[in-house]
């Protein structure tokens, strides 16, 4: 299991460019060794951060990227709750990623069929693997410690057979979603959590330091062989007592 790196920035303004550089760096390595870069995206504040910072990188070439979603809400793509729809409007129009390389759910299907259909799409992109191995997954964490659409105490935390699972009883609306399962998340070559804001401070301390850490879904993200980054801002890190990295300006990870 790779070592966890906890990196603290004064604010999200300093965090964003470093995240974009990290994505670009891992993309370059993946394309050099495997001919493509497979990236899983999450919603929330990541949408605006990536939509601002990635297009600002000089000479960014996304023509060999394949993008999926770590979880998605079962709503039409033009609904404000659609993570795919937000990225389509804010990011995908600014970068040269082929439309055929963006893996989105079919929201017209019932939630169980939607999850099966999305799993099929992933298997087509990752043939021959029992589960997808993404080059990078970008994750957020809720104030309750959930990540993807994996919530505290939910049976889906114990799912081992399926790579994508439906959820109809999400405690956070909308209730119907599809989500990658922990075996897929923990198979990634690099997992990056981005957590900002003071509301995350108490749960972040529990996830990274507390004895009850494993009770939180985010604490169960421990890549088997890949890298694990926690990129957080000062307010989110306010309660931490562990040793963290504090990179200077212009730093790269």
| Radius of gyration of the chain measured on its C-alpha atoms | 17
Question: Would you list the domain boundaries of the chain?
Answer: 4-190+199-210
| Domain over 4-190+199-210 is classified CATH 3.40.50.1360 | yes
Kindly tell me if the per-residue pLDDT of 131 is higher than 80: yes
**At residue 1, does pLDDT exceed 70?**
no
Residues 6+ apart with CB under 8 A from 130: none
| Spatial contact of 105 and 68, defined as CB atoms under 8 Å apart | no
In this structure, is the dihedral angle defined by the CA atoms of residues 70, 45, 39 and 245, taken in order, positive or negative?
negative
pLDDT tens per residue across span 16-65: 999 999 999 999 999 999 999 999 999 999 999 999 999 999 999 999 99
Summarised one tens digit per residue, pLDDT across range 183-206 is 999 999 999 999 999 999 999 999
The predicted pLDDT at position 212 comes to 74
Percent of the chain with pLDDT over 90: 92
User: Is 80 exceeded by the pLDDT of residue 211?
Assistant: no
């Amino acid at each position: 299991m790779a070592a966890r790196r906890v990196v603290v920035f004064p604010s999200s303004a300093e965090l964003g460019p470093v995240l974009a550089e990290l994505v670009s760096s891992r993309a370059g390595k993946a394309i050099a060794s495997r001919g493509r870069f497979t990236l899983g995206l999450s919603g929330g504040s990541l949408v605006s951060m990536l939509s601002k910072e990635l297009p600002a990188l000089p000479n960014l070439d996304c023509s060999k990227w394949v993008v999926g979603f770590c979880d998605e809400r079962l709503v039409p793509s033009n609904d404000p709750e659609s993570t795919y729809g937000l990225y389509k409007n804010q990011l995908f129009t600014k970068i040269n990623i082929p439309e055929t390389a963006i893996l989105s759910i079919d929201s017209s299907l019932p939630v169980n069929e939607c999850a099966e259909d999305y799993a099929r799409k992933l298997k087509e992109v990752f043939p021959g693997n029992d589960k997808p191995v993404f080059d990078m997954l970008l994750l957020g964490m809720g104030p309750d410690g959930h990540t993807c659409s994996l919530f505290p105490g939910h049976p889906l935390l114990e799912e081992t057979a399926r790579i994508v699972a439906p959820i109809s009883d999400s405690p956070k609306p909308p209730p119907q979603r599809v989500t990658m399962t922990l075996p897929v998340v923990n198979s990634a070559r690099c997992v990056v959590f981005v957590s900002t804001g003071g509301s995350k401070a108490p749960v972040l301390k529990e996830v990274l330091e507390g004895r009850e850490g494993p009770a939180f879904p985010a604490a169960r993200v421990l890549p088997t062989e890949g890298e694990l980054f926690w990129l957080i801002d000062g307010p989110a890190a306010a309660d931490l007592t562990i040793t963290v990295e504090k990179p200077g300006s212009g730093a790269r990870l």
